[in-house]
Structure 1
């Protein structure tokens, strides 16, 4: 057993991480990543299942489309109203409670016999899936400050991989055992994760709980945005990169399901496996952030994001070009996203949940904007116009980086460089 002196030294070592417990092993952070991917996947499972759901429950096409809308609305509300709670209560207990409530919501979806019950269950699923962001903030708080970028990169990879593979997994499971099996399986996995995380995660999260009441906690999120230029800037980067990300992934099934490919839903869903390559490769962004290269990483990644749309233009004539474009785009988005979260968390580690929750609201706005604009534009102007839209979002992000890079007041530093761009 460690002596009192050794214990005190260990706590001092991790104090900057926002907790009094020893730094967890890499295996625990991998568990964080798995839990993040499993939770966020629930937001995207329904996309390849809409037709089957609608037929099973006798829903009109317009009502079927609201399944996705309500799930994302629930997620957006959860980012603002639930994620900040991580700054006021024990995150270990909060995560377990949200996961167990998510199990209930998934069970409601799986057993729904009427459209009203299904839609209510989907909205609740989106609301509770924001446990993903509580997990990200908790992982960042447990990481040593010198290695926070690597930890955020690892955990965020789980989020992106969950998003990319959700459609593939749900399509395959639905073909094998029906659409309800997707949500029953997810409920079982979520219940298991709740138990494992409650047993594995540290109880002592340090002197982090705030004295703010719930209403004050929510208002302070807005105050943080008003106060911190870096937070506003990184939120804008997040909005633009996820608008580009959603422009691709919300519309790519349209040209692939038409001539000359006529790919099935399962084959289109397998494209998510290609995107995982880019997401994993972008883990290097976390290490670059730990070396103080966040500004350079952002610039290079945004340039790659712009470049990714050149091969994507040739999707109709070359699947190879599509693969290259997908890898570049996912690598770039993941790199900027990891950089964003690493930098904003360092501003106020004790307000990590509010910072990340507020930032992710912009992610949701960007994702919704890209999806709505891309699918609408494809219907009237085709795939080339969609690529121009995605390139436009990407160019805006790069232009924002160039402008703020010239006007920023110094190089990036790890703990709260307010002027970093």
Structure 2
């Protein structure tokens, strides 16, 4: 019995699939055959392997597909991969198509300057337009509708780049230094079509820096999504870059519109962004949280005010942890979110507390049931160490020292931590 033979049908030389495109880029972007690549069956014109017997009987369609699958298992495919790798084949470096929009650098022109806010604003426009992913199509601004074309657009480059050339327009930075407008880039040198991808960094979404807001071009269209650092797969291979032509970098002024990142907030933070946050929160009804107004040093007042604002939006759990994220910042800047409810409506945790009885209630020699109520709440909060036998209705030095300890724990000093409760001390104790 004669051995079966295989007959190969070569694909068209101008095939646009990811594998062929990748090989053409390697060969100086010239159309070329790709003998080592197996096309998707859905492309219709791809290579097929037909097993023909000596009796001239063509095997059934199912057997032919099995032969194709067996052959494919030994041939790396650029357009598919195990796991959630981004299916983002891309075109080569080239000029803009159609000349671009007014204000876009001319094709081939040196990279111009831009700002972080401009980078994010351009990225948002594609997100809002839901630009479809297509490695061979170009949007109305002249940029190619794939991941590298998207970043070329966001950075305002005068050309369509690809993951193999974008790094030349940036400076490598540490991931810890990432700020909105920077990028995370993975270029697979061994096989550019397999997993290569690039995203625009939009800011940290948690204080641990485990997740960030990514603007990216993926199927089916441009998206803005919380993403694990640095990406779903091949995380260790992504490199952070900052555009060389960036101007007006964040200098701590806190006056920009872009989210500065969750790392700017939280215990130990001391910068103008914290001041700006406090000012925005006060404008949204959070005045009662601040004893002396907004300041650059992060305090529990900032956390509680932020949490109250987040809960006013209907958020719960991690979405209302008191640390501002991109959505919190955006709502505060626009002034479009729901305002923080008044203290008479609810406390920061959504529950009402007893009304403040007035400063005169807490003075040496005074006796009042609300003094004992205050003492019991201090003990509950962990600030009762100065009581020898428990709080009572008469104001004592132990009450004052316990109140002072609680006030200092809020970051207050001087007259703000004199040991005599005021409205803010009372509210914090009971909410």
Please say whether Structure 1 and Structure 2 have the same fold, judged by a TM-score greater than 0.5.
no
The structure in which a higher percent of residues are strand is 2
Q: TM-score, normalised by structure 1?
A: 0.21
The structure in which a higher percent of residues are helix is 1
- Structure showing greater radius of gyration is 2
Q: TM-score, normalised by structure 2?
A: 0.21
